[in-house]
Amino acid sequence: MSDTRPLAVITGGSSGIGYELAKQFAGHGYDVAISGQSERVFDSAESLRGLGVEAYPHRADAATYDGVEGFWTFVTDLARPVDVAVLNVGIGLGGAFVDNDLDDELTLIAINVTGTVHFAKRVVQHMVPRGEGRILIVSSLSATTPTPYETVYGPSKAFGFSFAESLREELRDSGVSVTALLPGATNSDFHANAGMGSTDFGDNSWKNDKTLVAAQGYEAVIAGIDHVVGGDDATKQEAIDNRTTPETVKAARMAEKTRPRS
Ligand X SMILES: NC(=O)c1ccc[n+]([C@@H]2O[C@H](COP(=O)([O-])OP(=O)(O)OC[C@H]3O[C@@H](n4cnc5c(N)ncnc54)[C@H](OP(=O)(O)O)[C@@H]3O)[C@@H](O)[C@H]2O)c1
Positive or negative, the CA dihedral 226, 27, 203, 160 is negative
- Active-site choice (14, 35, 44, 139): 139
Q: Across the beta sheet with 31-36, what order do the strands follow?
A: 55-59, 31-36, 7-10, 84-87, 133-138, 176-183, 227-230
Phi, psi of 143 (to 5 degrees): -70, -15
List phi, psi (to 5°) of 73: -60, -40
Least distance between ligand X and beta carbon 48 (Å): 13
The residues facing 180 across adjacent strands are 137, 227
Query: Per the residue annotation, which of 14, 140, 157, 207 is the catalytic one?
Result: 157
Active site residue 162: no
Site for ligand X in 132-161 (CB under 6 A): 138, 140, 157
Using the minimum distance from each CB to ligand X, give the nearer residue, 35 or 145: 35
Q: Which of residues 167-196 bind ligand X (CB under 6 A)?
A: 183, 185-186, 188-190, 193
Toward ligand X, which CB reaches closer, 128 or 215? 215
DSSP code string of 133-193? EEEEEE--GGGGS--TTSTTHHHHHHHHHHHHHHHHHHTTTTTEEEEEEEE-SBSSSHHHH
Binding of residue 94 to ligand X (CB under 6 A):
no
Q: Which of 167, 136, 139 is nearest to 153 (CA)?
A: 139
Known catalytic residue at 47: no
- Closest approach, Cβ 4 to ligand X, in A, equals 28
Which residue, 193 or 245, has its beta carbon nearer to ligand X? 193
CA angle 183, 186, 191 (to 5 degrees): 115
Round to whole Å and give the CA distance between 167 and 142.
20
Active site residue 139: yes
| Of the candidate residues 5, 7, 9, 15, the single one contacting ligand X (CB under 6 A) | 15
Alpha-carbon span 158 to 162, nearest angstrom: 6
Contact set for ligand X, span 29-88 (CB under 6 A):
35-38, 40-41, 61-63, 88
- The residue range among 8-16, 22-30, 125-133, 162-170 that interacts with ligand X, by the rule CB under 6 A, is 8-16
Catalytic residues: 139, 153, 157
Query: Which residues make up the interface to ligand X (CB under 6 A)?
Result: 12, 14-18, 35-38, 40-41, 61-63, 88-91, 111, 138, 140, 157, 183, 185-186, 188-190, 193
